[in-house]
Structure 1
Amino acid sequence: MKSNYKTIDELVERVDERNSSGFARLLGVSINKCFIPSVANTIGTDLSKYKVIKKNEFAASLMQVSRDERIPIACLTEYDEAIMSPAYSIFRVKDTKEILPDYLNMWFKRSEFDRECSFIAVGGVRGSMPWEEFARIKVLVPEIDEQKRLVRNYKVISDRIALKQKINDNL
């Protein structure tokens, strides 16, 4: 299996589309690396300044990374489009022939990735990580067929865990 490491910056491009259409599905990213409906009070808030995120794009909160020892980051799969606070960094994969969004999302869920981010984000009062530091983190990029196989196996295991959880909850 041929594989190599590439920086996040080599694999993704930042997106900064603003909410000019008045779209109102407001999401946030939890510490568990999934999207959640925002609990922010938006009464009187100008939502045109909020960022648009589209399907298969990522959102990351680079604030308080070292404090939480996890980086809230997720790939949008449930909706075609939503809006997010301007505090989030939004980005997408440059070339899906090089790396799959699902594979990159799996990489971001690794505890080793969180540990590396926590180590890097030691400066400042809040332990934030600048985009430039985040973009220098390296990701293992195997051949695309290997990525597909890993994603497929991960999905099977994740689905089984979810099913077992439902069974346990019913007991």
Structure 2
Amino acid sequence: MTEKRKISVTISAQHGLVDQTVYFNNRVAAQDVSNYYLIKKGEFAYNRSTSKDAPVGAVRRLVDYEEGVLSTLYLVFSITDPQHVDPNYLSYFFETTGWHSWILERAAEGARNHGLLNVSSQDFLSLPVMLPSSLEEQQKIGEFFQKIDDCIILLERQADLLKQIKSSLLLSMFPPSNAE
């Protein structure tokens, strides 16, 4: 029996950990992914590549797949103390800019190496994270921001539908002419 091909994931600052074949419309991972990280649902990855949306790189949590494989260019980590750290809270923490200056202070001289911030795994994993002392408070904060994200998605869908209705109405009111 052949082993099922693992999903090769990549980090998008806007969309999180996504299937490479969907994001790039191509598989960019090597055929042999035995040296890649295996990331499991709920674990995090840090992409040290900078972009307009992620000036010190992006940290995202795997939520859409049970597991995937990820290039060793990324740093993969998990919460080691789930009794004291809520993963949703931590996900939203990494959407802030509060940790950026700390990372930039630790980026080595000549901060870029082939487009990547030169931040060691050890430095990144020692990043201080501002946590409310109670897990319950972290969970409430995470749930609050999740509700806001859910509202944003709903409003974006409604806006798209209204744009389609408008286009349809304009087309029916002003049909294209067959003038040559």
Where on the TM-score scale, by shorter chain, does this alignment land: which range? Answer: 0.7 to 0.9
Structure 2: runs of 5 or more not aligned: 163-180
**Cα root mean square deviation, aligned:** 2.4
1:20-75 CA deviation, whole Å, 9 max, x = no partner?
x66420000013361122244346x3211111000110011234489x61322101
Instruction: Compute the displacement of 1:108 (Å).
Output: 0.7
> Does 2:123 match 1:133?
yes
Q: Deviations over 1:69-108 (max 9, x none)?
A: 1322101111111111121111100111110111111111
Distance 1:135 1:33, change over 3 A: farther
| Contact preservation (8 Å) 2:49, 2:56 | no
Runs of 4+ deviating beyond 3 Å: 39-43, 63-66
Matched, 1:92 2:78: yes
The residue number in structure 1 matching 2:16 is 34
**Secondary structure of 2:42's match?**
coil
Number of positions where the alignment pairs a residue of Structure 1 with one of Structure 2? 149
Residue 118 and residue 168 in structure 1: after superposition, are their counterparts in 2 closer, same or farther (change >3 A)? farther
* Partner amino acid, structure 2, of 1:30: S
The within-5 A match list for 1:45-124 is 45-64=31-50, 69-121=55-107, 123-124=109-110
Q: Offset of 1:130 from its aligned partner?
A: 1.2
* Letter of the 2:88 counterpart: D
Return the offset for 1:141: 1.5
C-alpha separation between the residues in 1 aligned to 2:14 and 2:107? 19
Asked whether 1:165 is paired with 2:156, we answer yes
Structure 1 length normalisation: TM-score? 0.76
8 Å CA contact 1:33–1:73 kept in 2: the answer is no
Q: Which has the higher contact order (CA 8 A, sep 6+)?
A: 1
In structure 1, how many angstroms separate the alpha carbons of the residues matched to 2:119 and 2:15?
Answer: 17
Asked if the contact 1:55–1:76 (Cα under 8 Å) also holds between the matched residues in 2, the reply is: yes
Equivalent residue number for residue 165 of structure 2: none
Change (3 A) 1:49 1:110: same
Counterpart code for 1:103: Y
Which amino acid is the alignment partner of residue 157 of structure 1? I
Deviations 1:4-35 (A, max 9, x none): xxxxxxxxxxxxxxxxx664200000133611
Distance across 2 between alignment mates of 1:162 and 1:111: 22
Pair 41,34 (structure 1): closer, same or farther in 2 beyond 3 Å: closer
